[in-house]
A and B are shown apart, each in its own frame.
Chain A
Amino acid sequence: MIRNLNIFLIFTSVLMLSGVYALKFSIENTAGERTALIAEIDSQEGQLSLLKADEAVLNQPGHIEPIVRRHELALAIAPVKQEQFGAFADLPMRPAKPNTSAMDSLFESLEAGIDPIDAILELEGIE
């Protein structure tokens, strides 16, 4: 009875031992991967910080203005003048009513077979 138990215990111990051994190596492996990843993240964060700084420089009004000045002539652009601003109030009012009688007479003449454009073309000498 006790002998069987001992055999069983020995086998379990060996099994556990190999398990722990394997676990140790896999953990070491994972830790190595983790370190490599941390290093990679760190270096990428560093690069990202440089890229962001680059972007910030490129977005500065002080960086953009000289470029605009350089291409002012080619692109025909200039700083906006006060007179260029418009307002809704400046738009002309719409005519009170469309000129319906003129339209009616045009359609009537077309229906009657007279094209007013023909007359103009003939006058200009174009067929």
Chain B
Amino acid sequence: MAVTAEDFGPTISLDGARKQRGNLTQARIRWMVLALVLGFGLVGGRLVQLGMVVPDSTIEGQARDVITATRPPILDRNGLEMAVDIRVPSLFAEPRRIIDVEEAVRKLRTVLPDLDETWLRNRLTGDKGFVWVQRELSPAIQEKVMRLGIPGIDFITESKRFYPGMTEASHILGSTNIDNQGIAGIERHMDGEDVALLQELGLARGNALAPVELSVDMRVQHVMHEQLVDAMTRYKAIAAAGVMMDIHTGEIIALASVPDFDPNDPASALVKDSFNRVTAGIFEPGSIFKTVTMAGALDSGAVSITDQFDARFGIRFGRFTIDDFHGKHRILSLPEVYKYSSNIGTIRVMQAMGKDAYRAFLSTMGFDARVPFELPEMRLPTVPKEFSEVGAATASFGHGLSVSPLHMVAAYAAFVNGGNYIAPTLYRRDVAEAEALYRRVLQPSTSEAIRYLMRLNALEGSGSQMNKEALGYRVGGKTGTAEKVVEGRYSSSKVTNFFGSAFPLDNPRYAMVIMVDEPKAENPQSGTTAGWNAGAVTGRIVQRVAPMLGIAPDFSEVLDQNLVPPQLR
């Protein structure tokens, strides 16, 4: 049955109580939903806002991780620590939270009297959140400051680099700045490799880093450093330096240069003259360069060990005459040229080889480029691109060109190890790894001849002072006394002395170059030539370190006789 509106007309509809309550509930639910949505929206919004905030983890512009990051310990070849990290407290302030600046300044200065009053007051005033007051303090001072009980002052633990060897290996290790970044030496090289990357990633923080093992033997390093310091006082020299290298692997066993600095106090590195003379110093090598000339000439086949050279008269180049220092002025055999350190004879040897071949040989030995080495302190050698006749003549006995002692030790190592050039390194390297890097520069027979010449010079020539000290260890070497250029002329009173050596020559293992700069005679009976100082220092070092390196003395003459080439027996 259809009911239409027409039948009833307009009606008044009254909602029942139930329906009325239902409507009310629905409205309440809607309000509730709205309130909840708003509430959750608020919470959600805040969460998003919090998520957007980048927390300020920097301390005065530096990431906190970098400041507290650690560096790997550095060990010597026997596992003795050369550099370690220590945790030290650093004092900082939060000026925002300091209530009474005057009181804080007064109290702090009772413990840290070195702080400047106005500087400290300015630092503590203001609305900054973080300022350093003093970094890297001792735990005792931390205790005292804590006891003052100043609000807004606190400590943060930082890593500080500590070098237990003090000055001994300073030039090898270099130093780090207050933010633990390497600024010199192997520390800087390590940063270049991977530590910086680790710190950037924040991975170095708190993690135990694998220690870095160096090739240096701290015992040998100690002896060399001690002897160089001794040489400075004994000969009243202005500087001394030395480097010892394993000739088969290229590992640097010891490297020292005095005057040096204390890496625990990096500011002392800036003192004049404390640079690393082994790598960053270039010098005219003097007569130790004659070994290079001999090696080149013998290897080229232009001369043989049995040849004779006319050293009766000086050699004239235009107005100049080059003569010998202790001239024999007779015909000399090749071993005699080396033994008496004859300039004339050496020029003749070089001329037999030819000046262009000689110049090419210097390139082969790496004398005109920097030595591939880890230390960043380096200077390029100065070797003329081309030699004139007189230039080649002076170069043959080590004048008119400048190289670093590191160049010389690398060359000497190649001369005695059978003729393989191996770049020196401060990291561990075993023989197999080194052999892959060998570059052949001499024939083994030339190397044998050079060994004989070096030993001969120690027994009968200018190395006898050295041999007296290091008797039994079969050391051989060559002295070099290079006159310094003072006001444009060579001065006979100011000399740089070198001794290039290798031992034990029956089965060579180590090469060494010692330099003493501007020595005076030790006593009236002695002289200022290299044999008296650089040579004697070499002898004393070998005498001390040979037993440490497992080399037993042997006095049997047959060892020396075996070094003599068959043609000369």
Contact = CB atoms under 8 A, between A and B. Distances in A.
B438 interface: no
Contact of A61 (B84, B85, B87, B222): B222
Q: How many residues of B sit at the interface, in one of the four size bands?
A: 20 to 34
A19 interface: no
Given A59-B80, A61-B222, A82 B164 contact: no
B219 A49 contact: no
Nearest to B157: A46
Given A50-B87, A65-B222, A42 B162 contact: no
B262 interface: no
B164 A46 contact: no
Interface residues of A, number: 20
Interface string B116-129: 00000000000000
Q: What DSSP secondary structure best describes chain A's contact surface?
A: helix
B543 A82 contact: yes
Interface string A87-107: 100000000000000000000
Q: What DSSP secondary structure best describes chain B's contact surface?
A: mixed
Contacts, number: 62
Contacts of B553: 82-83, 85
B168 A82 contact: no
A60 B264 CA distance: 15
B213 to A, nearest CB: 15
Contact of B552 (A49, A50, A61, A85): A85
Contacts of B485: none
Contacts of A60: 80, 164-166, 168, 218, 222
A56 B73 CA distance: 11
Nearest to B70: A49
A45 B87 contact: yes
Interface of B: 80-81, 84-87, 139, 157, 162, 164-166, 168, 218-219, 221-223, 225-226, 471-473, 543-544, 547, 552-555
Given A61-B223, A83-B553, 19 more contacts: A45-B87, A46-B87, A49-B85, A49-B87, A50-B87, A53-B81, A53-B164, A56-B81, A59-B81, A59-B164, A60-B80, A60-B165, A60-B222, A61-B219, A62-B225, A65-B226, A82-B471, A82-B472, A85-B553
Interface of A: 42, 45-46, 49-50, 52-53, 56-57, 59-62, 65, 79-80, 82-83, 85, 87
